[in-house]
Structure 1
Amino acid sequence: MRPSKRDELVRKALPIFYREGFHATGMDALVAETGISKTTMFKHFRTKDELILAVLRYRDETFRNWFFRKLDDTALPPKDRLAAIFDILEEWFEEPAFKGCMFIKASSEFQDPDHPAYAQSAEHKRLLQTAFRSICADAGAHDPDLLARQLLILKEGAIVAAHMGFDPEPAAIAKATAEQLIANQIDV
């Protein structure tokens, strides 16, 4: 089935916003790069902010699906899956198009917590933490909430370090730290 113009626009706008940023990308640039007319854009989205929110929702869905599918494909027991989070991150960091986290960028550009882009970014992180918590509980962590929070913070720090390039092995360093936290929380 052929995707709708709306879906096509969201898919094509994502890499542009990811590469250039939200505020720096104007509607004229979107028209030029997507090949979708401004009239069609405004038919589907009344404002650029509505398009940004749709892009963030799409990115949330596609990233989490990709990430947790990769984690499931490891077929590891839950304890080992927690450490494998950082192997998957390393794979992402090595992609030529890697430009950091779209949600960290969005929350930096839209700093008002009531702004829909900020709220969607926070929701993405909340959903990741909830999924991590579930794996922590399955692994038998003494305090699955705490371990999930710790792993999410390590993940976010590794993303920033990879994007900024100030550490040559951010995923490996984060994984080594995660393994210590996991060992402290889960009885062998």
Structure 2
Amino acid sequence: MTSADSACDRFRISPLIKVTLLSFYIALLSPLPFLAQATDAPISPAVLMVLAVLGALFLGAGLGERVQTNDEGIALVSPLPWRGWTLAWADIKALKPRSTGQNGTVYYFITEAADRAYLLPMRVVGFARLVRTVEAKTGIDTQDVTPLAQPWMYLFLLIMTFFLLLMDAWTIWTATHLG
């Protein structure tokens, strides 16, 4: 996959998903350094802060992944060096569904050398177009392939995260003013 490919499509992770997951991460971890200080926890608030920032960087990098397709194949391009893959269309033999623990379904590309399966990225903008491209290039029937989560689910999580952030603000204020 080179950037010089003329028929290259790029599919990025949905901004709604990015904002929701980063906000949820912040909501979960932001009170911890303040609570550690207020309770004289054995771990330093500074260490918690550094670890939270490091985790946010990794999460942000993971959310920076994108899928690229062209006439030769499909690739998951990641800023994280240990992630990412490239598959030629001719090597893809099937899309295999797998149930998730939350009663959803994910799909894996199965190749001729069935020693490894590759997860079909499902949280991208233009998922329906990506699936149509996979069907056109591989001949695999993708009629039953649907996104793992609908946008309204992420919107609901974002709204709940907002309320959690309000609770975090109260927790931080309490920890710094009453502790």
TM range (shorter): under 0.3
Query: Relative contact order: is structure 1 or structure 2 higher (C-alpha 8 Å, sep ≥ 6)?
Result: 2
- Structure number having the greater helix percentage: 1
Higher-Rg structure is 2
* TM score, norm. by length of structure 2: 0.26
* TM score, norm. by length of structure 1: 0.25
- Structure number having the greater strand percentage: 2
